[in-house]
Amino acid sequence: MTLIKKRLAASIAMAAATAVVATTAQAEISDDEVRIGYLADMSGTYRDLAGPGGLTALEMAVADFGGSVNGAPIVVFSADDRNSADVGANTVREWIDQRNVDMVAGLVASSVTIAVTKVLAENDRLGLVSGSAASSVTNEHCTPNHIHWVYDTYPLANGTAKAVVEQGGDTWFLLTADYAFGHALEADVTRVVEANGGEIVGGVRHPFPTSDFSSYILQAQGSGAKIVGLANAGADTVNAITTASQFGITQSGQQLAGLLIFLNDVHALGLEATQNLLLTTGWYWDMDEQSWEWAQRYFDEVGRMPTMVQAGIYSSTMHYLKAVEAAGTDEAQAVREQMASEPINDFFARNGRIREDGRMVHDMYLAQVKTPEASTGEWDLYEILSTIPAEEAYRPLSESQCSLVQN
């Protein structure tokens, strides 16, 4: 055999071998594509905390990962759930039936998330929940098919409510959004307030969403409680704080405690109305160098600073893609196992790990809204007061009602 012929034979053999290796690797990835569906409120009350900005964060993660996993391209679909559990569940069912979607990201309103994760469990696909607050998502509603990433009502109550009671705010009136998330937050806050020697003296469950809070604020004023706790989110919280300032709630000696406040809420309300408000957050764009760098890249794309949810969408998607790569498959249980086997320490999460109930526990932060004088820019809104360590922040597994946890 001549040299040329030898070389030719060798390259053919090598090409064939590569092709075999490539196909076996890709055979593990369904349809030769990693298909991600992004489901969130894209147009309503919760749009600004996740919404289109969250989709950008997800696409940034996909681009940073290189656009493909082991040679299989990553494809992203997105849809608006309009905060409706039916719309959300039907969209995801359609994604699975018609497009064979492997993973669903985003997931904001807790009621939507609880409905969607049931569909994911029935079809054995994976869900990465970044927007939802209800701690019940990984408690009584836990499934082997979803992971809750950014925060939940347990650390919110543990951080904010505890700090407020310790400062002397021991009688509370709660304004609660009347659905899964509000109920979960109400339960968690009640537990923390009572455990720290405080008392819930009254409360109202208001419809979701509500634009006029004057009647509820008046009831809160009449209750004589020192603290008016806002167990709601998004536009409801913004509306409630606006109305409370019109009715002079602080002048009459009461104090507001916002239990779930996002960066975009504080930005919309302005520092004048929100200064000194205590809040608990899973991440803040200016909390350190790493966060700042990522936030600047996001800002260049979107023109706004990211919320903790948008940062969490990037972080969870990145961790997912790495797990798919390492596991060599996009099969839900294998990926989840791989994800849980790696600790999470990136720009978003510190001391993060995924527990068997699907909760990603990581350090949380108690923050205070800056005064207008202390703020140096449009987005310079929080001061981080203290860190709540990952293992203390979230509901301990010993109290868990999740069927995946053996108690």
Partner 1 sequence: MTMIFGVPMAVFMGQLTLGLVNGAFYALLSLGLAVIFGLLKIVNFAHGAQYMLGAFAALLGFRYLGINYWLALVLVPLVIGGLGMLLERFLLRRIAHLDHLYGLLLTFGLALIIEGTLVNLFGVSGARYATPEILQGGLNLGFMFLPTYRAWVLVAALAMCLFTWFMIERTRLGAYLRAGTENSQLMQAFGVNVPLLITLTYGFGVGLAAFAGVLAAPLYPVSPTMGSSLLIVVFAVVVIGGMGSILGAILTGLGMGIIEGLTKVYYPEAANTVIFLVMILVLMLRPAGLFGKEA
> Where do contacts with partner 1 occur on this chain (CB under 8 A)?
43-45, 47-48, 178, 204-207, 209-212, 214-216, 218-219, 221-222, 235, 238-239, 242, 246-248, 252, 264-265, 267-270, 273, 304
Contact between residue 41 and residue 47 where contact means Cβ atoms under 8 Å apart: yes
Measured from the CB of residue 47, what is the shortest distance to partner 1 in angstroms? 4
For residue 103, give the nearest of 54, 33, 27 by alpha carbon: 33
Q: Which residue, 200 or 268, is less far from partner 1 as judged by CB?
A: 268
Q: What is the CA radius of gyration of the chain?
A: 23
CA dist 112 and 103 (Å) reads 16
Q: Retrieve residue 277's tokens.
A: 């408000």
Contact between residue 120 and residue 147 where contact means Cβ atoms under 8 Å apart: no
CA dist 282 and 392 (Å) reads 14
Q: Retrieve residue 242's tokens.
A: 């606006």
* Stretch (H or E) spanning 70: none
For residue 358, give the nearest of 86, 153, 96, 140 by alpha carbon: 140
Measured from the CB of residue 255, what is the shortest distance to partner 1 in angstroms? 17
Q: Which residue, 110 or 264, is less far from partner 1 as judged by CB?
A: 264
For residue 125, give the nearest of 139, 156, 104 by alpha carbon: 104
CA dist 35 and 29 (Å) reads 10
What SS3 class is residue 78? Answer: strand
Q: Which residue, 176 or 400, is less far from partner 1 as judged by CB?
A: 176
Q: Which residue, 60 or 238, is less far from partner 1 as judged by CB?
A: 238
Strand order in the sheet with 364-369: 278-281, 364-369, 382-388
State residue 276 phi and psi, 5-degree precision. Answer: 70, 0
Q: Which residue, 71 or 224, is less far from partner 1 as judged by CB?
A: 224
Contact between residue 323 and residue 342 where contact means Cβ atoms under 8 Å apart: yes
Q: Which residue, 47 or 148, is less far from partner 1 as judged by CB?
A: 47
Measured from the CB of residue 328, what is the shortest distance to partner 1 in angstroms? 40
CA dist 57 and 45 (Å) reads 19
Measured from the CB of residue 203, what is the shortest distance to partner 1 in angstroms? 10
According to DSSP, the residues that pair with 206 across neighbouring strands are 177
State residue 199 phi and psi, 5-degree precision. Answer: -145, 140
Measured from the CB of residue 246, what is the shortest distance to partner 1 in angstroms? 5
Q: Which residue, 236 or 331, is less far from partner 1 as judged by CB?
A: 236
Measured from the CB of residue 42, what is the shortest distance to partner 1 in angstroms? 9
Q: Which residue, 189 or 235, is less far from partner 1 as judged by CB?
A: 235
Measured from the CB of residue 235, what is the shortest distance to partner 1 in angstroms? 7
Contact between residue 286 and residue 296 where contact means Cβ atoms under 8 Å apart: no
CA dist 218 and 206 (Å) reads 13
Q: Which residue, 164 or 266, is less far from partner 1 as judged by CB?
A: 266
Measured from the CB of residue 154, what is the shortest distance to partner 1 in angstroms? 25
* Residue 314 exposed, middle or buried by CB count within 10 Å (0-12, 13-18, 19+): buried
Q: Retrieve residue 67's tokens.
A: 């656009």
* Stretch (H or E) spanning 162: helix 162-166
Q: Which residue, 24 or 215, is less far from partner 1 as judged by CB?
A: 215
Measured from the CB of residue 403, what is the shortest distance to partner 1 in angstroms? 30
Measured from the CB of residue 391, what is the shortest distance to partner 1 in angstroms? 34
